[in-house]
Structure 1
Amino acid sequence: MAGHRMQSRQVFTSSVAVVALCLVGWQMEMAVADVGVNWGTISSDPLSNDIVVQMLKDNNFVKVKLFDANSDVIESMRGTNLEVMIAITNEMLASMAASPDAAAAWVKANVTSHLGTGGVNIKYVAVGNEPFLNGYNGRYIDATLPALKNVQAALAAAGLVDTVKAVVPCNADILSDNPYPSQQTFRADLAPVMLGIAAALKSTNSPFVVNLYPFLNLVLQANFPIDFAFFSGFATPIVDGTRVYTNVFDAGFDGVVGALNNAGYPNMAVIVGEIGWPTDGANYANIGLAQKFNQQLVNHLESGVGTPLRPGKLEAYLFGLLDENAKSTLPGNFERHWGIFNFDGTIKYPLDLTGGVTGRQTSLVGSKNVPYYPHQWCVLKTTADLSLLPANLDYACARADCTPLFYGGSCSGLTLHQNASFAFNNYYQFNNQLQAACDFQSLAQVVNTDPSVGTCKFLIGVRPGNSQAIAPPESSSSRSGASLTVNWQYLLTFLSTIIYNCSQLLLFP
């Protein structure tokens, strides 16, 4: 997909024309040409759509990717000209594959209805999301290609074949284990379906979409060199013939290009559907490394250098815009902390989305008019009966989010009292600051003094949409909370973390 290219400016003698032209040029320079962003909505207290859309505008994003086809979210972008990718969820693939009529009905309800003059600029329909992950145990392998073909046929029947493209975002594990990008092929068990998908994409001149996660390479692969995850250079690069790879992004991207080349599709466009770095919940998941990676990534994308196999501008969607506090932690405790903004739209770290290519440093713009709850927190009483604490901690963490408390998290160095207070407060904010949500068998109380400690921020919740906005708390941070299955293993892991942290404080005061 062609990006928005910088255009030259003609010099006029009229001072009025010069001023007007400079203003237009400034707006063009501020646009983020080929960097889009994923807008996920799996949150217990999501920001209202109008606040998020304003954030997208304020930060000059021109491309946004969704994970479903929520009508209210899509309609919130009506008239904005934001280029939008909507999605069919994995759970819907079987019905889309089984029935062309179901695909046609879906396209009519979720694509056609939003188009038209002044409508939503829907550019892509994602048919599933990473449907071939090993963790799915082949559940979606048989349905994905037929679903793609039926959606393509439905788009064609609606007269949209040239304007709306159906794609299949894939994880990088679709590739073989060959370390050399130019020699890459699709995984043997997936080769038939991947070749079918590539052929279907070519038939409609659609791009191949792949999600790349250098963070996961670092965290999940033993002895993975940390320097290879970033763009600062690597002492022992991958040498593939005349091509040299000093970072895993280029190697992963070109692995997909190589697989397509070797499958007979050398000219197929490749888009990175998701890429980012989390800020909490695990080792290496912190603000410093997230800022480093995302800034280097944006600089790399906006430089126009490209990769050894695909020089030139690359297109990618940052993952993601906001932290999502209700996501499953099955992939890891970091899964709720991928946003470049906190759950409430406040800024986590500096990030220049122009990549510095314009010569003008830019800064992120946070959310506006967010309706926070009052500045009050729920904490453990100093006189609490600690014999009641384990069961209540289990209850709170199973219904909110304690991922920052675990090893590697931003709150992993707290005392027992602070651990309990963090868990209780998270549950309290998760439940809209209801008085009954700060009781815990009389162990807890509401206070008006912020109990945040160092990097560990005690959040304040956000009211539902259309509520009256009040000033944001000074310590706003990542909001986390989700329904987890209550089990003793979770409790024992949590208590082990507390004991470990307390022992470290005693050994190394």
Structure 2
Amino acid sequence: MDHTFLSSRGNTAMTTILLLFGILISTTVEFTGAQSVGVCYGANGDNLPSRQEVVDLYKSKGINRMRIYDQDEEALQALRGSNIEVILGVPNDKLQSLTDAGAANDWVNKYVKAYSDVKIKYIAVGNEVPPGDAAAGSVLPAMRNIQNAISSTNLQGQIKVSLAIKTSLVANPYPPENGVFSDEARSYITPIVDFLKSNGAPLLANVYTYFAHVDDPQHNSLNYALFTQQEKNDAGYQNLFDAILDGVYAALEKAGAPYMKVVVSESGWPSAGGDAANVQNAESYYKNLIQHVKGGTPKRPNGPIETYLFAMFDENRKPDPETERNFGLFRPDKSAKYQISFN
């Protein structure tokens, strides 16, 4: 804009406006960065606090985003008016029933519309459904029906319908630019990506450097997995998290969705139960991850990366391996396992 025609008073006013605007923008960016980390609330334990106690703990720790894995009405009741953004999950065993449009409408009315004072941001229709699984054929029809039900209630501007994938759907993940959805996954995931693109929705991906490290420690060293490696590797990467996420971005590009946002719907490190699973490594991972996702990746440098830490509590009823029961940030008595700031 050419300001040469303005008087000195106009210049002063314009300078003030621009200064205030700049402060507003910088504050917004800082706020967005601070808000980028949520925590997954798994409830598969017989010794966990009440839903209301859990929501109160989120609020007391400044955790403003939560992922829940099913239509837990007690949790939804506790979330009313909390201003916590929520990923609401459709469990895999409910997918087939939601291929019926009427059932999907009923689901949305009961668990979404009835909780208009809960800030549901995403609905995750299924979690890590493998391409060859019996439920795989139900994912996209269920997503479409949920989307139609959301649209009929005029909530499509507030709530995005997606699903959460395992990053193992990506083949050729190294170097990350070679990432592509595997032959097995392509016919399953490509129509889903098209659906997400047409609705302006992100893809949700569960990103675990821990499993990549223990499965192949020779190529994925502990430092590389924990964000503590000092030098870049031959592909230009300093940490495994970025490499995995950029592999997903590359696969999306090849699937015709080069600008699709990826929400990291789970990422964590166990404190016990397996190789490299200890409190020291877990604390290092969570602290470094929280700092890291304020920025971006080499492929998508403009952050923050919306990320959900897994998980709020150790869940003692989860099946083997033992690591699955040791991902909690907090103990069942609500005491913190690590000294972590979520802001």
User: What's the TM-score, normalizing by structure 2?
Assistant: 0.88
Aligned residue number for residue 308 of structure 1: 298
Aligned residue number for residue 323 of structure 1: 314
Aligned residue number for residue 122 of structure 1: 120
Among 230, 237, 241, the alignment partner of 2:233 is 237
Aligned residue number for residue 256 of structure 1: 248
Taking only the aligned residue pairs, the percentage that are identical comes to: 31
Q: Extract unaligned runs of 5+ from structure 2.
A: 1-21
Aligned residue number for residue 130 of structure 2: 132
Aligned residue number for residue 346 of structure 1: 335
In structure 1, give the amino acid aligned to 2:328: G
Q: How is 1:432-451 mapped onto 2 (pairs within 5 angstroms)?
A: none
Aligned mates of 2:165, 2:230 — CA distance in 1 = 27
Q: In the TM superposition, what is the alpha-carbon distance from 1:57 to its structure 2 partner?
A: 0.6
Aligned residue number for residue 69 of structure 1: 71
Relative to structure 1, the CA distance from residue 69 to residue 8 in structure 2 (aligned partners, 3 Å threshold; closer, same or farther) is same
Aligned residue number for residue 39 of structure 1: 41
Larger radius of gyration: 1
Aligned mates of 1:284, 1:160 — CA distance in 2 = 44
Aligned mates of 1:340, 1:199 — CA distance in 2 = 36
Q: Deviations over 1:278-337 (max 9, x none)?
A: 1111121111000111111111112x2x101111211100001111111111xx111011
Aligned residue number for residue 104 of structure 2: 103
Secondary structure of the corresponding residue to residue 272 of structure 1:
strand
State whether residues 238 and 246 of structure 1, in contact with CA within 8 Å, keep that contact through their aligned partners in structure 2: no
Aligned mates of 2:189, 2:274 — CA distance in 1 = 33
Aligned mates of 1:42, 1:201 — CA distance in 2 = 30
State whether residues 162 and 204 of structure 1, in contact with CA within 8 Å, keep that contact through their aligned partners in structure 2: no
Among 196, 199, 202, the alignment partner of 2:194 is 199
Q: Extract unaligned runs of 5+ from structure 1.
A: 1-6, 10-24, 355-509
State whether residues 131 and 170 of structure 1, in contact with CA within 8 Å, keep that contact through their aligned partners in structure 2: yes
Q: How is 1:438-477 mapped onto 2 (pairs within 5 angstroms)?
A: none
Q: How is 1:181-196 mapped onto 2 (pairs within 5 angstroms)?
A: 181-196=176-191
User: Which has the larger helix fraction?
Assistant: 2
Secondary structure of the corresponding residue to residue 93 of structure 2:
helix
Q: In the TM superposition, what is the alpha-carbon distance from 1:32 to its structure 2 partner?
A: 3.5
Aligned mates of 1:338, 1:147 — CA distance in 2 = 30
Q: In the TM superposition, what is the alpha-carbon distance from 1:158 to its structure 2 partner?
A: 1.8
State whether residues 126 and 164 of structure 2, in contact with CA within 8 Å, keep that contact through their aligned partners in structure 1: yes
In structure 2, give the amino acid aligned to 1:282: G
Q: Deviations over 1:418-453 (max 9, x none)?
A: xxxxxxxxxxxxxxxxxxxxxxxxxxxxxxxxxxxx
Does residue 154 (structure 1) correspond to residue 149 (structure 2)? The answer is: yes
Relative to structure 1, the CA distance from residue 84 to residue 139 in structure 2 (aligned partners, 3 Å threshold; closer, same or farther) is same
Aligned residue number for residue 13 of structure 1: none
Relative to structure 1, the CA distance from residue 31 to residue 46 in structure 2 (aligned partners, 3 Å threshold; closer, same or farther) is farther
Aligned residue number for residue 85 of structure 1: 87
Q: In the TM superposition, what is the alpha-carbon distance from 1:183 to its structure 2 partner?
A: 2.1
In structure 2, give the amino acid aligned to 1:335: E
Q: Using CA pairs below 8 Å that are at least 6 residues apart, which structure has the higher relative contact order?
A: 2
Q: Which runs of 4+ in 1 moved over 3 A?
A: 28-32
Does residue 170 (structure 1) correspond to residue 165 (structure 2)? The answer is: yes
Aligned residue number for residue 179 of structure 1: 174
Q: In the TM superposition, what is the alpha-carbon distance from 1:235 to its structure 2 partner?
A: 4.9
Aligned mates of 1:74, 1:221 — CA distance in 2 = 40
State whether residues 39 and 65 of structure 1, in contact with CA within 8 Å, keep that contact through their aligned partners in structure 2: yes
Aligned residue number for residue 210 of structure 1: 205
Does residue 8 (structure 1) correspond to residue 23 (structure 2)? The answer is: yes
Aligned mates of 1:183, 1:292 — CA distance in 2 = 29
State whether residues 277 and 285 of structure 1, in contact with CA within 8 Å, keep that contact through their aligned partners in structure 2: yes
State whether residues 38 and 65 of structure 2, in contact with CA within 8 Å, keep that contact through their aligned partners in structure 1: yes
State whether residues 68 and 87 of structure 1, in contact with CA within 8 Å, keep that contact through their aligned partners in structure 2: yes
Relative to structure 1, the CA distance from residue 314 to residue 100 in structure 2 (aligned partners, 3 Å threshold; closer, same or farther) is same
In structure 1, give the amino acid aligned to 2:299: L
Q: In the TM superposition, what is the alpha-carbon distance from 1:176 to its structure 2 partner?
A: 0.8
Q: How is 1:405-420 mapped onto 2 (pairs within 5 angstroms)?
A: none
Does residue 271 (structure 1) correspond to residue 263 (structure 2)? The answer is: yes
Among 285, 290, 301, the alignment partner of 2:282 is 290
Secondary structure of the corresponding residue to residue 23 of structure 2:
coil
Aligned mates of 1:215, 1:29 — CA distance in 2 = 29
Aligned mates of 1:325, 1:343 — CA distance in 2 = 10
Number of matched pairs: 317
Aligned mates of 1:63, 1:29 — CA distance in 2 = 13
State whether residues 254 and 309 of structure 1, in contact with CA within 8 Å, keep that contact through their aligned partners in structure 2: yes
State whether residues 173 and 244 of structure 2, in contact with CA within 8 Å, keep that contact through their aligned partners in structure 1: no
